[in-house]
Structure 1
């Protein structure tokens, strides 16, 4: 059984490395998009390149944060998601990353729609609504889990002790 758990840790480490590599590729793409602005006259076209770079960086942040979360939760701590406290903390951390990236993408989509085609503004507004719904869902999730954490204070204490062990 321990061999199987080591295989899972190895698979998680590989996935984390691939997420980190994807993040580096996105950062390179963002740098390329931003570099294209150098020497370009200031204006809407230059701003669109910068906004595109921001969108790529938002995706890079998500990939890097997912990589870090997987490494910390599955490789370093060897935590198993069957532990309710650990699962709640993992989901909360993931929600934060996704919400920040979605908020940035919403700004990017809105800016592009306003400057390129107002037909796309509907999609940007739907993205705003979806991001708001996800934020509200996360708030409900946190609220409902606060009472669950009060029911299992020893699990929360163990999780905090594990946090102190991380470098």
Structure 2
């Protein structure tokens, strides 16, 4: 059984590496777009390229945070994610990044639609509405999950004790 768990840890490590590589590629592409906009004429087209670069950077942050979360939760801690505390912490880390990235993408889509294709504005607005819905759903999840945590306070202590693995 330990060999199977080791295989899963290696697979998780590879997935984290691929997410990190994707993040680095997105950062390079965004930097190139930003630089080309900067050295070109500073006009509305350059502003659009900068806004798109910000969207790519937001996606890079998501990819990098997912990589970090996978490494910390699945490789370093080797934690059982079935406890309510673990689930809340894992999903909270994930949702905070996804919600911020979606909000940035929604704003990028709004700016782009305003200047290039106003008929696309409802789609940009739907991204922002969906982001608000995710934020509200996350809040409800945390509220309901805290009640479950109160039933097993030792899980919170275990989670706090495992945090020392990451600091050392």
The normalised TM-score by structure 2 is: 0.96
Kept in 1: contact 2:73–2:79 (CA 8 A): yes
**Matching of residue 38 in structure 1 with residue 38 in structure 2:** yes
Structure 2 residues not aligned, in runs of 5+: none
CA deviations 1:36-77 (Å, max 9, x no partner) are 112222221111010010000000000000000000000000
**Matching of residue 94 in structure 1 with residue 94 in structure 2:** yes
Output aligned runs, 1:53-132, within 5 Å.
Answer: 53-132=53-132
User: What is the CA–CA distance in structure 1 between the aligned matches of 2:83 and 2:134, rounded to whole Å?
Assistant: 24
SS of 2:80's equivalent in the other structure is: coil
Shift of 1:125: 0.6
Structure 1 residues not aligned, in runs of 5+: none
Corresponding residue for residue 8 of structure 2: 8
User: What is the CA–CA distance in structure 1 between the aligned matches of 2:42 and 2:145, rounded to whole Å?
Assistant: 49
User: What is the CA–CA distance in structure 2 between the aligned matches of 1:139 and 1:32, rounded to whole Å?
Assistant: 37
Larger deviation: 157-166 or 123-132?
Answer: 157-166
RMSD: 1.0
Kept in 1: contact 2:37–2:50 (CA 8 A): yes
Residues matched between the structures, number? 167
CA deviations 1:100-120 (Å, max 9, x no partner) are 100110110000011111011
Kept in 1: contact 2:76–2:165 (CA 8 A): no
Corresponding residue for residue 148 of structure 2: 148
The normalised TM-score by structure 1 is: 0.97
Shift of 1:23: 0.4
User: What is the CA–CA distance in structure 1 between the aligned matches of 2:157 and 2:80, rounded to whole Å?
Assistant: 16
User: What is the CA–CA distance in structure 2 between the aligned matches of 1:52 and 1:113, rounded to whole Å?
Assistant: 12
